[in-house]
């Protein structure tokens, strides 16, 4: 896989609200992981234009990330704005 355990721990430590490498359940950590996977799949699909199964997986990941961002937007707008700015996502 493209992200090993150490890379995931760094990702979780960087983006979790408590800055804890074991905080895998927070919305920010999950959104950061989805974003890393989306970036990886996007680069894969630029090289493999006819990989429709990966394209479908990408669309599902984008939907999951959007739902998680909508959840944060409804419940804690400050955390939502922070993760959008941190990851450089569009609204």
pTM for the whole structure: 0.89
Domain total for the chain? 1
pLDDT tens digits, one per residue of 1-48: 578 888 888 888 888 777 777 778 889 999 999 999 999 999 999 999
- The SS3 call for residue 18 is coil
Task: List the CATH number of the domain containing 29.
Answer: 1.10.287.10
- Domain assignment of residue 62, given as a range: 5-87
Q: What is the CA radius of gyration of the chain?
A: 14
Mean pLDDT confidence for 43-59? 96
Tokens of 50: 């006819």
């Amino acid at each position: 896989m493209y992200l090993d355990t150490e890379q995931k721990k760094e990702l979780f430590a960087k983006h979790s609200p408590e800055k804890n490498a074991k905080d895998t359940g927070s919305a920010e950590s999950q959104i950061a992981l989805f974003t890393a996977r989306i970036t990886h799949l996007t680069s894969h699909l630029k090289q493999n234009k006819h990989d429709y199964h990966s394209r479908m997986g990408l669309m599902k990941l984008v939907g999951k990330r959007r739902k998680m961002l909508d959840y944060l937007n409804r419940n804690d707008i400050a955390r939502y704005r922070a993760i959008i700015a941190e990851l450089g996502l569009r609204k």
